[in-house]
Amino acid sequence: MQKIKFTLFNLRDLLVAFGPVTLMVVIVCGLGYWLVDPAPPKVIDISTGQENGSYEQFAKRYADELKKNQIELRQQLSLGSEDNLKHISDPDSEIEVGFVRSGSTDETQAHERGLISLGSLFYEPIWVFYRNPKELSTISQFKGKIVNIGPDGNGVAKLFSQILSVNSMSEDDVTIQKLADTPGTAALLEGKIDVLVFSSASDSPLVQMLLQTPGIRLFDFVQAEAYTRRFPFLSHVVLPRGIVDIGKDIPAHDYHLISPTATLVAHESLHPALMGLLLQAARKIHGGADWFSRQGEFPSDKYTEIPVAHEAEKFYKNGPPMLQRYLSFWIANFFERMWVVIVALGALFLPLSKIIPPIYVWRIRSRIYRWYGQLRLVEQALDQVETGERQAVAQRQLRHLDEIEEKVNRITIPLSYAEELYGLRSHIHFVRARVQAMLEAGEAPAASPV
């Protein structure tokens, strides 16, 4: 146990030597942690879309991805794209993220409302399903029909109105219904409406079902390229023949569709680290090929009229932050936020590394060297003794030496400094020999050369 004590006793000296510096580092780190960008919140509120719609389905997948990094994605159903824009830009709303269809706003309005884009995610074609014995080729053939365009706020009404306008029609030429997508689909199947218009990704259950329902036709936008010239936010996409069921040849031919793109839009107040995390989830969810896009085409900084966030631009250029490729999100984020403090501490390390070790050595050796002052006092008392007091002075100094030696024997120091301790003990014996010589000779000894 004594060996362990000798070995570990330097801990106290280390604390004394390193303590002030350690305290300074802790204070600097604390101030840095407080002053630099705050840590990202653990909850994100997202505005999705109608129940059972593609936006809601995708939001659930985002929630699963974010949960892996201890981030909760709270989902709020909405009427659709325009409703999401309203929620995100509302200063009294907690919603910071939502799915928005291209063409819902413009760059000026987006800037005024504090909106930023994290990139486009997937093509979201305009699906026009209808009941008719014959296949229709132009929108003008829907004149007089009952058309369901979904509830206000989903963004389809604005888009359908634009489509009617370039066909020399208006909403007065058709009977508008505003049922949600699911009850609208039911109404189409029951024959209560003639046309169902909605915008959705290809993996929507409603799309999959309607494409395979007898008596329900999909409108073929044979003039799709012309539409994209009139409306730059639209893209021309093709639904390939047999994509639904190759064996049953569904659909029986290629269909041309016009398609806005779904964009992940956020308020500019969203924490930058969460933007990167959402984009990593987007790459996993939307990076594969589907009916309309190639592998790796999405997410993309294209196809969006809303300004792309700076963090998103960095992601598309360089990928995820380097630290997040090897460390967990929270650890990587901590170092990314504290890099200024880490650099500052690194700059202080070199001078501190030259100062602290000598302080530690001085602490150890001072425990020994201070007793040499007591030995010098003993020798001075012997050198200055007057005749007739030699025996009394020698007796007192001998007792003083015993006290010194007793205290020195209780000194514990690291074993690497034991040589100095044993040197002190030998010098105590040397002075004691002088005092004993005085007692035996009865006279003062000669002055010491020490």
- CA-to-CA distance for 283 and 288, rounded, in angstroms? 8
- CA-to-CA distance for 156 and 205, rounded, in angstroms? 18
pLDDT at 12 (0 to 100): 62
Tell me the two tokens of residue 308: 């792309």
Across the range 435-441, mean pLDDT stands at 81
Residue-wise pLDDT for 47-69, tens only, equals 998 887 889 999 999 999 999 99
Q: 111 in helix, strand or coil? A: helix
Domain locations along the chain: 2-21+341-441, 125-259
Residue-wise pLDDT for 299-331, tens only, equals 999 999 999 999 999 999 999 988 888 889 988
pLDDT at 393 over 90: no
Tell me the two tokens of residue 90: 């509302």
Across the range 11-31, mean pLDDT stands at 68
Across the range 141-153, mean pLDDT stands at 94
Long-range contact set of residues 424-430: C-beta below 8 Å, sequence gap at least 24: 424/368, 424/371, 424/372, 427/372, 427/375, 428/371, 428/375, 428/401, 428/404
* CB neighbour burial string for 161-200, b if at least 16 within 10 angstroms, e if fewer: eebbeebebeeebbeebebbbeebbebbbeeebbbbbbbb
How confident is residue 231, by pLDDT bands cut at 50, 70 and 90?
Answer: very high
125-259: which CATH number, 3.40.190.10, 3.30.2420.10, 3.40.50.261, 1.10.3210.10?
Answer: 3.40.190.10
Q: 147 in helix, strand or coil? A: strand
Strand partners, 250: 245
pLDDT at 34 (0 to 100): 67
pLDDT at 129 over 80: yes
Tell me the two tokens of residue 173: 């030429």
pLDDT at 276 (0 to 100): 94
- CA-to-CA distance for 408 and 220, rounded, in angstroms? 101
pLDDT at 125 (0 to 100): 95
pLDDT at 173 (0 to 100): 96
Q: Is the bond preceding residue 449 a cis peptide, omega within 30 degrees?
A: no
Please provide the average confidence, as pLDDT, over all residues in the chain: 87
Closest to 261 (Cα-Cα) out of 122, 401, 399: 122
How confident is residue 152, by pLDDT bands cut at 50, 70 and 90?
Answer: confident
Strand partners, 119: none
Range in 53-67, 413-427, 430-444 with the lowest mean pLDDT: 430-444
% of the chain beyond a pLDDT of 90: 53
Strand partners, 271: none
pLDDT at 98 (0 to 100): 96
Residue-wise pLDDT for 249-263, tens only, equals 999 999 999 999 999
Residue-wise pLDDT for 93-112, tens only, equals 999 999 999 988 888 999 99
- CA-to-CA distance for 91 and 436, rounded, in angstroms? 93
Long-range contact set of residues 223-226: C-beta below 8 Å, sequence gap at least 24: 223/138, 224/256, 224/257, 224/258
- CA-to-CA distance for 372 and 384, rounded, in angstroms? 18
pLDDT at 340 (0 to 100): 66
Tell me the two tokens of residue 204: 């929507």
pLDDT at 143 (0 to 100): 96
pLDDT at 443 over 70: no
